[in-house]
Amino acid sequence: MGAQTIPTPTLASVLSGRQTPLGDDVDFLAERYLRAEAAAAEAYRAALCVDQPHERAKEELVLLADHLGVADGPHTKLLRGFRHEVRLRHSLSRVLDQERVGKFAYMVRGNRRAKGIFRDLFRWTISYQLQPDADAFLKRFRLPDELQCWYDRCRKIDSVPTLEVIPMSRP
């Protein structure tokens, strides 16, 4: 005979008030949750033990390729070993610091020369957000240096490296 499970009321029936969970139901679900939580915690610990050396090796390869690699296109460096090549790409991050975007918005609003472009750059929700095409717009419109500096500060990270390790085929 297989393991016996306690029939538990469905969450919908309990929430609608049609059925009340029994103490055994609560205990059964709580114990199942605690077993799953312990198993997940152990899996996370094991993953962390494997991931730490992986991240250290990645950092070393990124630094090596960044310092010794040769240019292989815009924002890309290539480093070749005997059996592998390492390609490092730097891309501009689209992650914005909302507090800095707000400060930039107030600086633009107070600048006589740039005041007229305010709606081209910003949209108002609960706080100011840059328009999705603000970068493209600013390629056509030159901001005063002080405002350009504020705009550049809106990004939390300037460059995000992407590492690719490729086994080289033998001739």
Burial of 108 (0-12, 13-18, 19+ CB in 10 A): buried
Tens digit of pLDDT at every position of the chain (171 positions): 455 555 555 665 666 666 666 777 778 888 989 999 999 999 999 999 999 999 999 999 999 999 999 999 888 999 999 999 999 998 866 677 888 888 999 898 888 888 788 888 888 887 888 888 888 888 888 888 889 888 888 876 666 688 889 998 865
SS (H, E, C) the chain: CCCCCCCCCCHHHHHCCCCCCCHHHHHHHHHHHHHHHHHHHHHHHHHHHHHHHHHHHHHHHHHHHHHHCEECCCCEEEEECCCEEEEEEEEECCCECHHHHHHHHHHHHHCCCCHHHHHHHEEECCCEEECCCHHHHHHHCCCCHHHHHHHHHCECCCEEEEEEEEECCCC
pLDDT the model gives residue 159:
66
Q: Report whether 67 contacts 77 (CB < 8 A).
A: no
pLDDT the model gives residue 94:
66
Q: 115 forms bridges with which residues in the sheet? A: none
pLDDT the model gives residue 1:
47
The residue extents of the domains of the chain are 98-155
Whole-angstrom CA distances from 135 to 67, 141, 162 are: 29, 10, 22
